[in-house]
Chains A and B, each alone.
Chain A
Amino acid sequence: MTSADHLKQLATQVRRDILRMVHKAQSGHPGGALGCTELLVALYNKILIHNPKTFTIDGKGQDVFFLSNGHLSALWYSVLARSGYFGVSELSTFRMMGSRLQGHPATQEGLPGIRISSGSLGQGLSVAIGMAKVKKLNSDPHLVYVLMGDGEIQEGQIWEAAMFAGGKQVDNLIAIIDYNKKQIDGATDDVMPLGDVKAKWEAFGWSVLEMNGNDMDEVLETLKESKTKTGQQKPVLILMKTEMGMGVDFMMGTHKWHGSPPNDQQLENALNQLEETIGDYKI
């Protein structure tokens, strides 16, 4: 089995985790989480230079990832757990009172892997810039990654940050936009057209790459390519085309599952489409 095959199996398992977590909590955001599964699985297993056992908030000597669209928390928690940041059994506490797995990522409960709270949109790119500046000040060659939603770039702060990173040549930063063209209220084209996203970021001084975020081989290849684009006086953006709800037929092609949990029958139907590969966590 090639390592890409292994990652594909892991992605299937993570998708099962997301559905089971959101189902048990009867709340959460499965759509975008299912769409970005390949990205996070690839990042945490093949791309990031990181050590879950020596996690520190400051991320010194490691690559750092921020999740700006914090509502993808179920995905992040699953990938963190399955990368060794905490036990997978804890996934069953998602969104429950007393859990470290808050509805949106938070630091207050001390969950390893989380460095700052996110959920109110538009802030993560700026935070990532701050961390990228720290790396530069400390002559730390490691990189900073941040994922944001495409609807999220409707926030004005994103463009403040985009202007800063381009203008001030923050070239140790790789930002990824989940370009699924959907948001809670519907298609981005209907809610607030994003226009030529690639041209906009290029105009702000960024190197822009594109990839199909649901093709594991392409994700790995593009992430590796993005690293080679760092250190060239330009921040790097990956415009990542994805399918919201990927992997579950009735969740794809609609924005309906952005923030809705499946019921018992829907969960069963969904899980039947995703083979248990490395083992479900126990409830």
Chain B
Amino acid sequence: MTKFETETLINQGDKDTRSGFGEALFELGKTNPDVVALCADLTGSLSMNKFADAFPDRFIQTGIAEANMMCIAAGLAVGGKIPFTGTFANFSTGRVFDQIRQSIAYSNTNVKICASHAGITLGEDGATHQIMEDLGLMKMLPNMIVINPCDHNQTKAATLAIAEYEGPVYLRFGRPKMPNFTPVDYKFVIGEALMMKEGRDVSIFATGHLVWKALEAASILKEKGIDAEVINIHTIKPLDREAVMESVLKTRCAVTAEEHQIYGGLGETIAGFLSRNFPTPIEMVGMNDLFGESGKPHELLDKFGMGVPDIVSAAELALGRKHL
């Protein structure tokens, strides 16, 4: 498991994850002539404008036609290009599941499905657009890598990393400005979990926007005399099983935290792994089989049980269930 050199991670200033994607895509445009970007009428929302303006020949605007976009991307990949598709997470997964399944996952084409506005922190647009099922849909597909970065810097690093990987990838990020706390320009390694804060009493495995919430929860837990470990599982699939095992061997109880349905999410992946290998008390913070609603990102996270207090109480519950 990798650790950052800095002792504690601090918020360098709120930033959206999608602009991390856009910055990296632009860099890739400059460094890798095989990178092609596709967008279904959401160029600004996905921060793809810089790429589109600088490399018009390698930018394909498909209009509002996501199924066509996914399969054009597959055809580009068959021909040897490295296509990055950009649209909202909802339209990147559920709407085009069969296209992804046949032309991308089964055919093992080198398509990077880049999905913005994921999760409930999409906010005001409401439940039609707040997809909380995308990680589950994508992780079920053989050959698919599933990544959910935690902040702007990690999204940028992950975008650069997936261009180097040969095969289908689902990269999920979000809309709102959120704390940006991982180092600038660090080297992202697919499938290698990141130690964010070491601890002895409880392991918190968090992904996406909830990683920062988990760090905040760890501070509160510390005041209560609980030493929580926070691990960033940015790659949902393949799961860094060694990192999970190493941590729970020490703490003997776990919390998972994700901006996604509990059914089919990171929590179930970790629980499935642990139950087969090292049964451990586990509590899951996530969306509990509900659709969301309009509102501000943070207030929605709190309302639907994915806020800092929820992670704190989940940790206390897990601790209480520990086999002593």
Contact = CB atoms under 8 A, between A and B. Distances in A.
B13 interface: no
B11 interface: no
B80 A60 contact: yes
Contacts of A119: 102
B65 A130 contact: no
A108 interface: yes
A133 B67 CA distance: 17
A225 interface: no
Interface residues of B, number: 32
A113 B70 CA distance: 22
Interface string A112-132: 000111111011101111111
Given A59-B79, A135-B79, A127 B71 contact: yes
B274 interface: no
Interface in A134-149: 134-135, 137-138
Contacts of B67: 122-123, 126, 156-157, 160
A86 interface: no
A167 B65 CA distance: 13
A43 to B, nearest CB: 18
A58 B99 contact: no
B219 interface: no
A135 B75 CA distance: 11
A160 B78 contact: no
Contacts of A120: 98, 101-102
A58 B68 CA distance: 20
B57 interface: yes
A164 interface: yes
A57 interface: yes
Contact of A127 (B58, B72, B80): B72
Contact of B74 (A116, A135, A137, A157): A116
A137 B77 CA distance: 13
Interface in A193-214: none
Given A117-B106, A164-B62, A59 B78 contact: yes
Contacts of A59: 78-79
Interface string B79-95: 11101000000000000
A163 B71 contact: no
A116 B57 contact: no
Nearest to B57: A137
26 contacts: A59-B79, A106-B106, A116-B74, A116-B103, A117-B103, A122-B67, A123-B74, A124-B71, A126-B72, A126-B103, A127-B72, A130-B72, A130-B79, A131-B79, A132-B75, A134-B80, A134-B81, A135-B79, A137-B57, A137-B81, A157-B68, A160-B65, A160-B68, A164-B62, A164-B65, A164-B72
- Top 10 nearest A-B pairs (CB, nearest first) are A130-B75, A134-B79, A126-B71, A160-B68, A160-B65, A127-B75, A130-B72, A58-B80, A130-B76, A157-B67
